[in-house]
Structure 1
Amino acid sequence: MRQVTPLTDGWSLRDPDGTGDPLPAVVPGCVHTDLLAAGLIPDPFLGRNEAEVAWVGRRDWTYETELAAGPGAHEQTDLVFDGLDTVAEILLDGRPLGRVRNMHRSYRFDVTGLSGRLAVRFASAYAEAEAVRGRVGERPGAYAEPYQYVRKMACSFGWDWGPTLVTAGIWRPVRLEHWSTARIARVRPLVTVEGGVGRVELAVDVERTRVEAPLTVEASVGGVRARAEIDGTHGTVRLEVPDVRLWWPRGYGEQPLYDVALTLLHGEGALDEWRRRIGFRTVELDTSPDAHGTGFTLVVNGERLFARGVNWIPDDVFPSRITRERYRRRLEQAAGAGVDLVRVWGGGIYESEDFYDACDELGLLVWQDFPFACAAYPEEQPLRGEVEAEARENVVRLMPHPSLVLWNGNNENLWGFRDWDWEPGLAGDSWGEGYYLGVLPRVVAELDPTRPYTAGSPWSGSWLHHPNDPAHGTHHSWEVWNRTDYADYRLHVPRFVAEFGWQAPPAYATLRRALPGEELAPDSPGMLHHQKADDGNGKLERGLARHFAVPEGDFDRWHYLMQVNQARAVAAGIEHWRAHWPLCAGTVVWQLNDCWPVTSWAAIDGDGREKPLYHELRRLYADRLLTVRAHAGGLVLAAVNQSAKAWHGTLRLRRMSVEGTVIAEAGPALAAEARTVAGIGVPAELVPAGPKEFLVADAWGSSRSGEAGSGDGLRALHFPVPDREVAYPRPEFEVALAPGGITVTARTLVRDLLLQADRLDPDARADRGLVTLLPGERVTIGVRGWKTPDPDSARSALYCVEPTR
């Protein structure tokens, strides 16, 4: 049987010019983390230290260890790297074993009978990128850094939310594999289900040391076993499992997983084995044309979905630090917010098995981008061969995961070619179209025909339409954030919104940790350094000024209002688009997470703290949602029911004054069938007018006990004018300790009350975000991690909307 020896110990890191003593190195890891551990560089996440460590990415580095000869009982020993970042030469006692140039691939070298000093010499990714650029010519990109010339995580070179920290290192595990006669080189699992019968077809490739040895494979799944012979180096074993349980996205059913085991045999002796977990489900992408344009609807097990999505970036700029537990924690946060789809964005990586395992278990659908983002990518060698090799490896690697439902060719490159002035400058040079419309769909069709492929995001389906046409396929809505007001989300109904978002700073405790000793202000040096978007603060303030008076000289108030505006902006989009299901079939918020402490579009900041947007997503992505929208000169209440059961009940509609007086009231019936949206017209006499009135819509049972969010917990509010024009009373409320938290009782209208628990203690977390209370209502906010509960401290950490002075 194949034996594995992990190579995790005894590594050192040195400058290849020989200066300085070697440093202890952690493998998997990277140069930055080793230098940090040795105290030779400051933490680049703090202050403006990022600039002080820029030199690291422009140097060459060497990892070394002693390699012992493999056990003599085996015929072959391979040195296997699951990931090398990025351009390296591998040597054993000074003799070259090979050269590599792709972070997204694994590598294997025959070291049978060899021992000695193993060295992995990394060249600067800058040097490689600049050399390739010199060979193939300039290509445009969204950023000045040369990320499109090297097959490496693009956001290592910085992004509009990320630092420029160009890494190098053995970033995934390395090991020795000892084997005889033959080993399993690749297993390509095709998993289908029809009529309750699950079918698993395992296409097996083997590598041999002895050509004449007869080989068989035996596989098992769900209590069913089958055997097949290996003809030369290939074989296929097929299994049929009756009465399989279907794997469903979260919210639609359970996520049963089946263990698949495959053993390579010589006679009855086991030579190697392969084990994975699979799930049985069908997936289709409906892009049928209709009267409105071209749809983009995911269909799982025959069920048409409105995708409640988030975009995922690498959770750390140093990916080797992301543990299985951290993946699980972050993805549990996503599931806890009602998310059912996670898009792995194209400027990052193909994530580790730990990521996809967690998605399988949590019922999170995965939309996987191929790693191309925001640039024209040359199609000449050496890049073209690397692109196909990495695609083939990763398509097969990720195929077992039922959570993976869509392959996507790139992020924004088809759009960039058409709209970002690339086309004239390219003058016919290659720019990536051959990858997205040629190489990648061919690889997916050949290797993984069970999943749909789309050429890009955004993409209208063909060049017959503009790539970002909202009526066709996927759409990225960035004009609103960049230039207009978030109310403009309500002007259009795209078929599928794959990116949109609004910025806010991270949590207060995150800022305090990242900017030690700094007097915080929107334009303080550290705050500006941790704002990477072009004119980011300007867009934040202009976006706020349309709704609130921008506070001058009050950072705490500015910080709170920016959080409110982010949540309000995203809510404006999701409420509008969900109300137009099935015309719109999904929203994918930019973005779930951050890779360091930064002002960004994320719902969870770089320290893992949940912004108010996160809690707002829990409301917006719940199975049932109430929202008010303007329609034909009046108001319509949309009851969005994405659950499997009909929603019948009574509504309570109240036209109220800001002082708390009920001006008019009605109780219309609510009836929304499963997976539908019902529209209920608001009677004219209930439509609020002017700065002193608003509409409250509650599902039957909401607020009946005086506890905000009791009963069904569904409420929609409509104010006819922006907040800066609303005649809010000065908020009055009482605060008392409650078991596990605090209770707030409103004496007046209290709009968007927020407990910033991290101001009480950096480890404290609140269980809810923004909440609006009517006079007499109360809310209990759970707080965990608060070591010394005190009502006065709680009051100091409570913020709400105040009247414009």
Structure 2
Amino acid sequence: MIEMTLNGQWLMKKVDDSKWMGGEVPGSVYKDFLDNGIIPDPYYRDNEESIMKLSDYDYEYKRNFKIDCDMLSYDKVYLSCDGIDTLSTVEINGKEVLKTDNMHSQYEIEIKDFLIVGENEIRVVIYSPTKYIKLKNKEQFLWNTSDALKGIGHIRKAHYMFGWDWGPKLPDMGIWRDISLKAYSKKRIKDIYITQHHKKEKVILDLDISCENWENNFNDITIQVTSPDGESIEFKKENMSNKDKIQIDILDPKLWWPNGYGEQPLYKIEVILKENARILDKRFLRIGLRTLTIKQEKDKWGESFAFEINGIMIFSKGANYIPEDNILGRCNKERTKMLIEDCIDANFNTIRVWGGGIYPEDYFYDLCDKYGLIVWQDFMYACTVYDLNGDFKKSIEKETIDNVKRIRHHACLGLWCGNNEMESAWVEWNFPKTPKLKCDYIKQFEVLIFDIVNEYDPNTFYWPSSPSSGGNFDNPSSEAKGDMHYWGVWHSREPFTAFRKHYPRFMSEFGIQSFPGIKTIESFTLPKDRNIFFYVMESHQKNPTGNEKIFYYIAQNFKYPKDFESVSYTSQLVQAEGIKYGVEHWRRNKGRCMGAIYWQLNDCWPVASWSSIDYYGRWKALHYYAKRFFNPVLISAKEEGTLVKLHIVNDRLEDIKGKINWKLRDNRFNILEEGIRSVEIPRNSTGMYEELDFRKSLSNFNQKSKTYLEYELIIDRKIENAGTFLFVPPKHFELLDPAIKWDIEETTDEFIFSIYSIAFAKAVEIDTKEIDIKVEDNYFDISSGKVYKVILQKKDISKPISMKELRNKITIKSLFDTF
């Protein structure tokens, strides 16, 4: 087998233009226009509206490539297209060889008869997606979310590209993944599926291997398994049929665990197809040895819904992932790696790939394998009605098979989910509904896709929709079973305390918006634009009542911010405090609830949104809070007036001994009451370990407005987790000027901040001008007169910098500085 890449420099233009320009493959139309200086940044100010019109045109790409006699001596030569976005025709030497209609599918077509020795030309014409959906929706109306252009259910293109309540209407297009020629002689490996059987002290691997054989003879297969330690073992089987099985025993197996539960050892599987000594084809897979499914069993609350890994049910902690850019040509492995590492730094063990985007690149799953993130994988359907007609059905069958076969071997894959919110939409939302389309929903998500998953990946759990209680429109938002999306806080303006009214079995969506930080806002605005209600800022807020709701929640919790920068800061505190309130509640109820996956992890452009990490990779307050509230061992306070119960959650797989240390303080750090208690916390458990009654100390509002509770869990003489609790909303607490002072020292790999205040300081923020940093802790409370130490790793600074330069760029403030 030989492969020739067609990636690299192409020529591109509008179909109706005469002038060609350079284009990059993989890439996209918008990126090529940007690279050629034809258009300004689509994300700057309100450029979105004018640049969206580029999608009303058709485009063509072309390039030449040379073919030698050697390649044409092979029996078969295929054109392999890993991703064309979306509607296209492909020509080789002026003859059409392929039509595409699905961005999410991989296309392969035999083209040997169209090739010649010497110079050849490939031409790809990509047709306007916006004209297509407009025409199709005029022929047949299909409802979709009002945040997107109408008609997106007619096209198998990432829905978010057409607009969402956090994303722009910029439906880019192009050859967005690898394109190549592959030549084979006599036979090739068509498919490999691995099933694991876990036994005492060994794992048995069943490899189902399918070959395509053009000579109808038998196949000789060699399999090499390389352990995480680098030790290799080889297995051979001769005279195999075109569909056959090889069984391999892995002795003393090293199990794969999600982050926080163990290591992530990976085994390399190499399958080689030979004839005599000649290698005809080979495939590489990396797998983790584990059992992973959803545990559903009846209990006193209904029916459980929890990931079970290697026989242990775990509480899932994470966020919803959306595509990292609206211009997919800007995405790359290094950017995704930083994002996944940020998840690990914040103690995630799970990530949900949301159904309105794309099936991510292979390296996304490789990184999740490497770092230990369980992937909840939606199929790419969201908030849209679909007509299961013949052409559409054929297209999505191929899409489903392609992606199941591509992703299924990954250790990180936890479940397949049919769609985002369409079952609940049919039951709970108000849109035009017909019996035929409702029936199509069942056929598509509970029959067709279920059957494909059952055939091609029977070892992975399938869930029909999110949220769902199991399908068939049976109370999809039930708290007794399945997963739940809860948007009463935010969309219905319910207070944070409303989170505690809900006890889902698995919370897979909930969220609160915030503005990005000032550096990100400066990236898309002029100084005159920096008013939340100016049209440029409003163009970067896609939720119709988003700014209003942000201010509503600020008003519920904080004093009126004194300036624009303070609005950004307090909005992030609202978001972080609110999500913390919900997560701590659900973690305290571990066993009943077994997951808290907030909306959302990241952004696809600079915008006001629900993300905890903005478009440029800058952590908002929420992500620093997540690092604390997703800590494997969590201490949290549940208040009922002046009664406070301290709970501890232990996600570790070993028992813990420690001490609870608490102090009731006034706003000048004076201790009013204090206590210490030794505790023993069983493995993988939750419980209430201290009950405090402050009725005497906090008998009136004046006392409550000057008093806070400081609590911490000490393990092995170190603070494992800690927090503070105010007995009134922060806006009613009498914050004094903390007069924060700070210093910095340098070691070989770190800068160390020493921060001190003379009074209680809420949500202390360390930020920088001009450069980006990611500190060990941020948006923290200084709750005693002790010096607070914060480490900044030099690797977490956007560019090399001296201590003197860093000192001049650092800004430190707290909530007191915002009013």
Q: Common fold, TM-score beyond 0.5?
A: yes
- Tell me: CA distance 1:729–1:803, structure 2 relative to 1, closer, same or farther (3 Å): farther
Name the stretch that deviates more: 231-240 or 484-493.
Answer: 231-240
Tell me which residue corresponds to 1:719. 726
Q: TM-score, with normalisation over the residues of structure 2?
A: 0.92
Q: Is 1:466 aligned to 2:498, yes or no?
A: no
Q: 1:342 aligns with which of 351, 359, 371?
A: 351
Check the 8 A contact 1:728/1:803 in 2, yes or no.
no
Name the stretch that deviates more: 525-534 or 126-135.
Answer: 126-135
1:492-503 maps to which residues of 2 (within 5 A)?
492-503=502-513
State the alpha-carbon separation in 1 of the partners of residues 473 and 65 from structure 2. Answer: 57
**1:493 to partner: Cα distance:** 1.7
**1:795 to partner: Cα distance:** 9.8
Q: 1:265 aligns with which of 268, 274, 284?
A: 274
Q: 1:565 aligns with which of 565, 574, 577?
A: 574
**1:668 to partner: Cα distance:** 2.4
- Tell me: CA distance 1:422–1:190, structure 2 relative to 1, closer, same or farther (3 Å): farther
- Tell me: CA distance 1:144–1:175, structure 2 relative to 1, closer, same or farther (3 Å): closer
Q: Is 1:122 aligned to 2:126, yes or no?
A: yes
| Matched AA of 1:515 | T
| Matched AA of 1:753 | V
Check the 8 A contact 1:742/1:791 in 2, yes or no.
no
Secondary structure at the aligned position of 1:342 is classed as strand
Name the stretch that deviates more: 424-433 or 725-734.
Answer: 424-433
Check the 8 A contact 2:664/2:709 in 1, yes or no.
yes
State the alpha-carbon separation in 1 of the partners of residues 551 and 408 from structure 2. Answer: 45
**1:495 to partner: Cα distance:** 1.0
Secondary structure at the aligned position of 2:500 is classed as helix
**1:345 to partner: Cα distance:** 0.7
Check the 8 A contact 2:740/2:757 in 1, yes or no.
yes
| Matched AA of 1:93 | N
1:725-740 maps to which residues of 2 (within 5 A)?
725-739=732-746, 740=751
State the alpha-carbon separation in 1 of the partners of residues 157 and 201 from structure 2. Answer: 42
1:40-439 maps to which residues of 2 (within 5 A)?
40-70=38-68, 71-113=71-113, 114-115=115-116, 116-134=120-138, 136-145=140-149, 146-208=151-213, 210-222=214-226, 223-228=232-237, 233-422=242-431, 424=433, 430-439=439-448
Q: Per-residue displacement from partner, 1:114-169 (whole Å, max 9, x unpaired)?
A: 14331111111123334443555433434342222111111111111111111211
Check the 8 A contact 1:215/1:267 in 2, yes or no.
no
- Tell me: CA distance 1:769–1:517, structure 2 relative to 1, closer, same or farther (3 Å): same
State the alpha-carbon separation in 2 of the partners of residues 775 and 220 from structure 1. Answer: 59
Check the 8 A contact 1:415/1:468 in 2, yes or no.
yes
State the alpha-carbon separation in 1 of the partners of residues 110 and 436 from structure 2. Answer: 44
Tell me which residue corresponds to 2:14. 15
Check the 8 A contact 2:148/2:169 in 1, yes or no.
no
State the alpha-carbon separation in 2 of the partners of residues 794 and 766 from structure 1. Answer: 17
Q: TM-score, with normalisation over the residues of structure 1?
A: 0.94
Check the 8 A contact 2:770/2:809 in 1, yes or no.
no
Secondary structure at the aligned position of 1:754 is classed as strand
Q: 1:747 aligns with which of 755, 758, 770?
A: 758
Secondary structure at the aligned position of 1:382 is classed as helix
Name the stretch that deviates more: 335-344 or 113-122.
Answer: 113-122
Name the stretch that deviates more: 726-735 or 595-604.
Answer: 726-735
Q: Per-residue displacement from partner, 1:388-409 (whole Å, max 9, x unpaired)?
A: 1111111111122111111111
Check the 8 A contact 1:310/1:588 in 2, yes or no.
yes
Give ranges in structure 2 of 5+ residues lacking alignment: 227-231
| Matched AA of 1:16 | V
Check the 8 A contact 2:667/2:760 in 1, yes or no.
yes
State the alpha-carbon separation in 1 of the partners of residues 81 and 534 from structure 2. Answer: 44
Check the 8 A contact 1:74/1:179 in 2, yes or no.
yes
- Tell me: CA distance 1:335–1:33, structure 2 relative to 1, closer, same or farther (3 Å): same
Name the stretch that deviates more: 288-297 or 358-367.
Answer: 288-297
Tell me which residue corresponds to 1:706. none
Check the 8 A contact 2:442/2:472 in 1, yes or no.
no
**1:792 to partner: Cα distance:** 11
Check the 8 A contact 1:206/1:233 in 2, yes or no.
yes
Q: 1:536 aligns with which of 546, 569, 578?
A: 546
**1:306 to partner: Cα distance:** 0.4
State the alpha-carbon separation in 2 of the partners of residues 219 and 363 from structure 1. Answer: 26
| Matched AA of 2:282 | E
- Tell me: CA distance 1:584–1:153, structure 2 relative to 1, closer, same or farther (3 Å): same
Q: Per-residue displacement from partner, 1:62-86 (whole Å, max 9, x unpaired)?
A: 1111243352332221111111111
Secondary structure at the aligned position of 1:576 is classed as helix
State the alpha-carbon separation in 2 of the partners of residues 143 and 600 from structure 1. Answer: 14
1:406-805 maps to which residues of 2 (within 5 A)?
406-422=415-431, 424=433, 430-463=439-472, 465-483=474-492, 484-551=494-561, 554-630=563-639, 634-685=643-694, 688=698, 690-700=704-714, 711-739=718-746, 740-757=751-768, 760-783=769-792, 784=794, 785=797, 787=801, 797-802=811-816
Secondary structure at the aligned position of 1:668 is classed as strand
**1:633 to partner: Cα distance:** 7.9
State the alpha-carbon separation in 2 of the partners of residues 391 and 169 from structure 1. Answer: 21
- Tell me: CA distance 1:288–1:142, structure 2 relative to 1, closer, same or farther (3 Å): farther
Check the 8 A contact 1:376/1:431 in 2, yes or no.
no
Q: Per-residue displacement from partner, 1:228-265 (whole Å, max 9, x unpaired)?
A: 46766433322222221111111111111111011112
**1:632 to partner: Cα distance:** 9.7
State the alpha-carbon separation in 2 of the partners of residues 36 and 240 from structure 1. Answer: 53
Secondary structure at the aligned position of 1:119 is classed as strand
Give identity over the alignment, percent. 27
State the alpha-carbon separation in 2 of the partners of residues 327 and 433 from structure 1. Answer: 35
**1:424 to partner: Cα distance:** 4.0
| Matched AA of 2:343 | A
**1:614 to partner: Cα distance:** 1.1
Check the 8 A contact 1:90/1:97 in 2, yes or no.
yes
Name the stretch that deviates more: 143-152 or 69-78.
Answer: 69-78
Check the 8 A contact 1:133/1:149 in 2, yes or no.
yes
- Tell me: CA distance 1:4–1:533, structure 2 relative to 1, closer, same or farther (3 Å): same
Name the stretch that deviates more: 628-637 or 495-504.
Answer: 628-637
Check the 8 A contact 2:724/2:781 in 1, yes or no.
no
Give ranges in structure 1 of 5+ residues lacking alignment: 703-709
**1:790 to partner: Cα distance:** 6.2
**1:767 to partner: Cα distance:** 3.0
Check the 8 A contact 1:376/1:417 in 2, yes or no.
no
- Tell me: CA distance 1:236–1:127, structure 2 relative to 1, closer, same or farther (3 Å): farther
Check the 8 A contact 1:374/1:412 in 2, yes or no.
yes
State the alpha-carbon separation in 2 of the partners of residues 540 and 342 from structure 1. Answer: 26
**1:427 to partner: Cα distance:** 6.6
Q: Per-residue displacement from partner, 1:375-430 (whole Å, max 9, x unpaired)?
A: 11221122111111111111111122111111111111111111111364667555
- Tell me: CA distance 1:804–1:83, structure 2 relative to 1, closer, same or farther (3 Å): closer
| Matched AA of 1:504 | S
**1:96 to partner: Cα distance:** 1.1
State the alpha-carbon separation in 2 of the partners of residues 280 and 727 from structure 1. Answer: 55
Q: Per-residue displacement from partner, 1:444-471 (whole Å, max 9, x unpaired)?
A: 1111111111111111124474211222
